Amino acid sequence: MVKGKITLDYLRNKKNTGHKITMMTAYDYSSARLVDEAGIDVVLVGDSLGMVVLGYDSTVPVTMDEMVHHLKAVSRGVKNSFIIGDMPFMSYHVSREKAVENAGRFIKEGRCDAVKIEGGSKMAPIVQAVVDVGIPVCGHIGLTPQTATMLSGFKVQGQDKDSASELLTFARDIEDAGAFMIVMECIPDLLAKRIAEEVSIPAIGIGAGADCDGQVLVYHDVLGLFERFTPKFVKRYADLAPVIKEALIRYRNDVETGSFPGPEHCFHMKSDDVDKI
Ligand code: KIV
């Protein structure tokens, strides 16, 4: 399907007409091109890059400069997908001014279309400040990895009545603050369905069941490129790590045994000419 550049109207229309929104992370030029060419609506340059690309043990250490560096690469690779840049921990918490300034860097230097901000009702004034300067914001509630310590670790959120109704309030407040979309991570499917029905903005799930307005997953999880762990909610569509490792071992063997490069990989000149050098 040829859609052209994805817009906010296009995403809203998908929700309003019951069509699922597709979203996938990407962190560099080549992966962004593949996601874009696959016709996926939204590319999220997630701070998950801290774990799957940079090798940190969480998303907390990721810096603005690291995010901007990867955003630039992704935006060079994308033609049509809508690009969301994930604001890293402490880039939007200190003040509204700092949040606006950093969101502005994402748009001006990283060339993304929107930013994502983790957190519930307390983040609503920050979301509003960024939206007020004309930068679209995607919220993120439920399991918020940047503040997972406060949640006592990486676990399902909103499983009892009180925490579920708190999450519903968070979603409403983030929508009221002007967000155009909200990500719901690791929450029960019935709660996600309720939130998606309740808010008028697209509510995208990751570990939030089938009744969301769309789904997002991490590129490396989907393709089997990250072997440290795989969350329960991930569906693997390929198992590329063993394929890549096998290819690398064959390359190593070919170099060690002298069977690479072959004549077809070499540039040739006449041996007479060599003798004249
Ligand atoms: O950083 C990320 O990849 C995310 C998704 C898991 C939603 O925030």
Judge if the upstream peptide bond of residue 263 is cis by omega within 30 degrees of 0: no
Identity of the amino acid at 115:
V
What is the average per-residue pLDDT within 101-125? 98
**Structural domains in the chain, sorted by start:** 8-239 (3.20.20.60), 243-275 (no CATH)
E strands, the chain, in order: 21-25, 42-45, 82-86, 114-118, 137-142, 181-185, 203-206, 214-217
Confidence of residue 228 (pLDDT cuts 50, 70, 90): confident
Decide: helix, strand or coil at residue 154.
coil
Catalytic-labelled residue, pool 101, 175, 185, 264: 185
Round to whole Å and give the CA distance between 220 and 254: 28
148-200 pLDDT per residue, tens = 999 988 999 999 999 999 999 999 999 999 999 999 999 999 999 999 999 99
pLDDT at residue 3 above 80? no
pTM: 0.96
| Ligand 1, atom 4, residue with closest C-alpha | 46
What is the average per-residue pLDDT within 254-263? 98
Query: What is the number of other CB atoms lying within 10 angstroms of the CB of residue 29?
Result: 16
Helix axes 29-37, 64-77, angle to 10 degrees: 50
43-73 pLDDT per residue, tens = 999 999 999 999 999 999 999 999 999 999 9
Distance 185 CA to ligand 1 centre (A): 8
In a mutational test of the pocket of ligand 1, which residue from 183, 221, 222 has the highest number of ligand atoms less than 8 Å from its CB?
183
Name every protein residue with a CB atom under 6 angstroms from any ligand 1 atom.
25, 44, 46-48, 86, 183, 185, 206, 216, 218
Buried-exposed string 201-236: b where 16+ CB fall within 10 A, e elsewhere:
bbbbbbbbbeebbbbbbbbbbbbbbbeeeeeebbee
185 is annotated as an active-site residue:
yes
Chain centre distance of CA 63: 16
